[in-house]
Amino acid sequence: MNFSIYVTGLMMGLSLIVAIGAQNAFILRQGLRNEHVFAVCLACALSDAALIVLGVTSLQQIARLLPWLDPLMRYGGAAFLAWYGAKSLYSAFRSSATLTEAEAKTASFRQTLATCLALTWLNPHVYLDTVVLLGTISTRYPGQQASFAAGAVTGSFLFFFALGYGAAWLRPIFSKPSSWRMLETLVAVTMWIIAFKLLGST
Protein backbone atom coordinates (compact mmCIF):
# COMPACT_ATOMS: atom_id res chain seq x y z
CA MET A 1 0.00 0.00 0.00
CA ASN A 2 1.46 3.34 -1.10
CA PHE A 3 0.19 5.89 1.44
CA SER A 4 0.75 8.99 -0.68
CA ILE A 5 -1.21 7.50 -3.59
CA TYR A 6 -3.88 6.34 -1.11
CA VAL A 7 -4.26 9.95 0.08
CA THR A 8 -4.41 11.15 -3.53
CA GLY A 9 -7.24 8.71 -4.21
CA LEU A 10 -8.99 9.81 -1.02
CA MET A 11 -8.85 13.49 -1.96
CA MET A 12 -9.89 12.87 -5.56
CA GLY A 13 -12.82 10.74 -4.44
CA LEU A 14 -14.00 13.40 -2.00
CA SER A 15 -13.65 16.21 -4.53
CA LEU A 16 -15.88 14.42 -7.03
CA ILE A 17 -18.76 13.61 -4.68
CA VAL A 18 -18.85 16.65 -2.39
CA ALA A 19 -21.03 18.71 -4.78
CA ILE A 20 -24.78 18.51 -4.20
CA GLY A 21 -26.35 16.06 -6.59
CA ALA A 22 -29.24 13.66 -6.87
CA GLN A 23 -27.66 11.05 -4.61
CA ASN A 24 -26.42 13.54 -2.02
CA ALA A 25 -29.73 15.40 -1.89
CA PHE A 26 -31.52 12.11 -1.17
CA ILE A 27 -29.08 11.19 1.60
CA LEU A 28 -29.49 14.64 3.16
CA ARG A 29 -33.27 14.27 3.10
CA GLN A 30 -33.11 10.82 4.70
CA GLY A 31 -30.72 12.09 7.35
CA LEU A 32 -33.04 14.95 8.24
CA ARG A 33 -35.96 12.53 8.51
CA ASN A 34 -33.82 10.02 10.44
CA GLU A 35 -35.19 7.39 8.07
CA HIS A 36 -33.13 4.29 7.12
CA VAL A 37 -29.97 6.43 7.30
CA PHE A 38 -27.44 3.63 7.79
CA ALA A 39 -28.84 1.50 4.97
CA VAL A 40 -28.94 4.44 2.56
CA CYS A 41 -25.38 5.53 3.37
CA LEU A 42 -24.09 1.97 3.14
CA ALA A 43 -25.86 1.33 -0.18
CA CYS A 44 -24.38 4.49 -1.70
CA ALA A 45 -20.89 3.79 -0.37
CA LEU A 46 -20.88 0.16 -1.54
CA SER A 47 -22.21 1.19 -4.96
CA ASP A 48 -19.46 3.79 -5.27
CA ALA A 49 -16.87 1.22 -4.20
CA ALA A 50 -18.03 -1.26 -6.85
CA LEU A 51 -17.96 1.40 -9.58
CA ILE A 52 -14.53 2.70 -8.53
CA VAL A 53 -13.06 -0.80 -8.65
CA LEU A 54 -14.76 -1.36 -12.00
CA GLY A 55 -13.26 1.84 -13.40
CA VAL A 56 -9.76 1.15 -12.10
CA THR A 57 -9.70 -2.40 -13.44
CA SER A 58 -11.91 -2.43 -16.57
CA LEU A 59 -12.49 1.06 -18.02
CA GLN A 60 -11.07 0.47 -21.48
CA GLN A 61 -12.76 -2.88 -21.95
CA ILE A 62 -16.18 -1.46 -20.98
CA ALA A 63 -16.00 1.40 -23.48
CA ARG A 64 -15.04 -0.98 -26.27
CA LEU A 65 -17.62 -3.69 -25.57
CA LEU A 66 -20.68 -1.56 -24.68
CA PRO A 67 -20.90 1.53 -26.93
CA TRP A 68 -24.69 1.63 -26.47
CA LEU A 69 -24.52 1.99 -22.69
CA ASP A 70 -23.93 5.76 -22.68
CA PRO A 71 -27.15 6.83 -24.49
CA LEU A 72 -29.20 4.26 -22.57
CA MET A 73 -28.03 5.53 -19.20
CA ARG A 74 -28.36 9.18 -20.28
CA TYR A 75 -32.00 9.01 -21.36
CA GLY A 76 -33.09 6.54 -18.70
CA GLY A 77 -31.41 8.54 -15.97
CA ALA A 78 -32.90 11.83 -17.19
CA ALA A 79 -36.41 10.35 -17.17
CA PHE A 80 -36.05 9.02 -13.64
CA LEU A 81 -34.59 12.29 -12.30
CA ALA A 82 -37.38 14.31 -13.94
CA TRP A 83 -40.01 12.09 -12.28
CA TYR A 84 -38.33 12.25 -8.87
CA GLY A 85 -38.02 16.04 -9.14
CA ALA A 86 -41.73 16.35 -9.88
CA LYS A 87 -42.51 14.14 -6.90
CA SER A 88 -40.40 16.34 -4.60
CA LEU A 89 -41.95 19.55 -5.90
CA TYR A 90 -45.42 18.11 -5.36
CA SER A 91 -44.48 17.40 -1.74
CA ALA A 92 -43.14 20.93 -1.34
CA PHE A 93 -46.42 22.53 -2.42
CA ARG A 94 -48.90 20.10 -0.87
CA SER A 95 -47.29 19.33 2.48
CA SER A 96 -47.49 21.65 5.47
CA ALA A 97 -46.03 19.12 7.89
CA THR A 98 -43.03 19.83 10.04
CA LEU A 99 -40.07 17.48 10.10
CA THR A 100 -41.32 15.82 13.29
CA GLU A 101 -44.74 15.12 11.84
CA ALA A 102 -43.28 13.91 8.55
CA GLU A 103 -41.32 11.24 10.40
CA ALA A 104 -44.56 9.51 11.28
CA LYS A 105 -45.02 8.75 7.56
CA THR A 106 -41.94 6.61 7.27
CA ALA A 107 -41.39 5.07 3.85
CA SER A 108 -40.81 1.33 3.78
CA PHE A 109 -37.26 0.05 3.85
CA ARG A 110 -37.68 -1.60 0.46
CA GLN A 111 -39.08 1.54 -1.16
CA THR A 112 -36.34 3.73 0.32
CA LEU A 113 -33.55 1.38 -0.73
CA ALA A 114 -34.99 1.02 -4.25
CA THR A 115 -35.10 4.81 -4.66
CA CYS A 116 -31.56 5.13 -3.34
CA LEU A 117 -30.21 2.51 -5.74
CA ALA A 118 -32.10 4.04 -8.66
CA LEU A 119 -30.66 7.49 -7.93
CA THR A 120 -27.23 5.90 -7.85
CA TRP A 121 -27.24 3.43 -10.73
CA LEU A 122 -29.50 5.35 -13.14
CA ASN A 123 -27.45 8.54 -12.92
CA PRO A 124 -24.78 8.64 -15.66
CA HIS A 125 -22.86 11.30 -13.71
CA VAL A 126 -22.05 8.64 -11.12
CA TYR A 127 -20.41 6.54 -13.85
CA LEU A 128 -18.57 9.58 -15.19
CA ASP A 129 -17.14 10.42 -11.76
CA THR A 130 -16.31 6.91 -10.58
CA VAL A 131 -15.72 4.67 -13.58
CA VAL A 132 -14.43 7.18 -16.14
CA LEU A 133 -12.66 9.96 -14.21
CA LEU A 134 -11.25 7.94 -11.31
CA GLY A 135 -10.49 5.05 -13.65
CA THR A 136 -8.58 7.37 -15.96
CA ILE A 137 -6.68 9.09 -13.13
CA SER A 138 -5.64 5.73 -11.70
CA THR A 139 -3.71 4.98 -14.89
CA ARG A 140 -1.18 7.61 -13.78
CA TYR A 141 -0.06 5.21 -11.05
CA PRO A 142 0.89 1.95 -12.80
CA GLY A 143 1.23 -0.87 -10.32
CA GLN A 144 -0.33 1.25 -7.56
CA GLN A 145 -3.94 1.40 -8.77
CA ALA A 146 -5.06 -0.62 -5.75
CA SER A 147 -3.79 2.08 -3.38
CA PHE A 148 -5.54 4.79 -5.39
CA ALA A 149 -8.81 2.82 -5.49
CA ALA A 150 -8.65 2.14 -1.74
CA GLY A 151 -8.28 5.86 -1.05
CA ALA A 152 -11.20 6.77 -3.32
CA VAL A 153 -13.40 4.11 -1.71
CA THR A 154 -12.50 5.41 1.75
CA GLY A 155 -13.51 8.90 0.63
CA SER A 156 -16.92 7.65 -0.45
CA PHE A 157 -17.59 5.92 2.88
CA LEU A 158 -16.45 8.95 4.88
CA PHE A 159 -18.52 11.42 2.87
CA PHE A 160 -21.79 9.50 2.67
CA PHE A 161 -21.89 8.60 6.35
CA ALA A 162 -20.85 12.11 7.38
CA LEU A 163 -23.63 13.57 5.21
CA GLY A 164 -26.30 11.15 6.40
CA TYR A 165 -25.60 11.42 10.11
CA GLY A 166 -24.36 15.02 10.06
CA ALA A 167 -27.75 16.10 8.77
CA ALA A 168 -29.05 15.64 12.32
CA TRP A 169 -27.39 18.94 13.25
CA LEU A 170 -29.80 20.70 10.89
CA ARG A 171 -32.91 19.14 12.39
CA PRO A 172 -33.86 22.19 14.55
CA ILE A 173 -33.99 24.31 11.40
CA PHE A 174 -36.25 21.82 9.65
CA SER A 175 -38.77 21.78 12.49
CA LYS A 176 -40.43 24.60 10.53
CA PRO A 177 -42.71 23.69 7.59
CA SER A 178 -41.19 26.44 5.43
CA SER A 179 -37.70 24.95 5.78
CA TRP A 180 -38.93 21.50 4.80
CA ARG A 181 -40.70 22.92 1.73
CA MET A 182 -37.49 24.73 0.75
CA LEU A 183 -35.53 21.48 0.96
CA GLU A 184 -38.06 19.61 -1.17
CA THR A 185 -37.93 22.43 -3.73
CA LEU A 186 -34.12 22.34 -3.72
CA VAL A 187 -34.20 18.59 -4.29
CA ALA A 188 -36.63 19.03 -7.20
CA VAL A 189 -34.55 21.76 -8.85
CA THR A 190 -31.37 19.72 -8.38
CA MET A 191 -32.94 16.67 -10.04
CA TRP A 192 -34.24 18.71 -12.98
CA ILE A 193 -30.94 20.51 -13.56
CA ILE A 194 -29.10 17.19 -13.70
CA ALA A 195 -31.75 15.72 -16.02
CA PHE A 196 -31.49 18.75 -18.32
CA LYS A 197 -27.70 18.47 -18.44
CA LEU A 198 -27.98 14.79 -19.31
CA LEU A 199 -30.30 15.50 -22.23
CA GLY A 200 -28.16 18.42 -23.34
CA SER A 201 -25.03 16.27 -23.51
CA THR A 202 -26.22 14.33 -26.56
Question: Which tens digits make up the pLDDT trace of 131-143?
Answer: 877 777 787 788 8
The yes-or-no verdict on residue 96 having pLDDT over 60 is no
Instruction: Average the pLDDT over 55-78 and give the result.
Output: 71
Task: Tell me how far apart the alpha carbons of residues 199 and 78 are, in angstroms, rounded to a whole number.
Answer: 7
Q: What pLDDT is recorded for position 102?
A: 44
Q: Tens digits of per-residue pLDDT, 6-40? A: 998 898 888 777 665 778 888 988 998 888 999 99
Name the nearest CA neighbour of 190 among 62, 44, 65, 81.
81
Between 168 and 37, residue with greater pLDDT = 37
Angle at 133 between CA 22 and CA 128, to 5 degrees: 35
Q: Which domain holds residue 79?
A: 3-201
Q: Is the dihedral of CA 43, 49, 52, 56 positive or negative?
A: negative
Task: Tell me how far apart the alpha carbons of residues 52 and 38 are, in angstroms, rounded to a whole number.
Answer: 21
Q: What pLDDT is recorded for position 179?
A: 74
CB–CB of 31/167 below 8 Å? Answer: yes
Total number of domains constituting the chain:
1
Q: What pLDDT is recorded for position 104?
A: 46
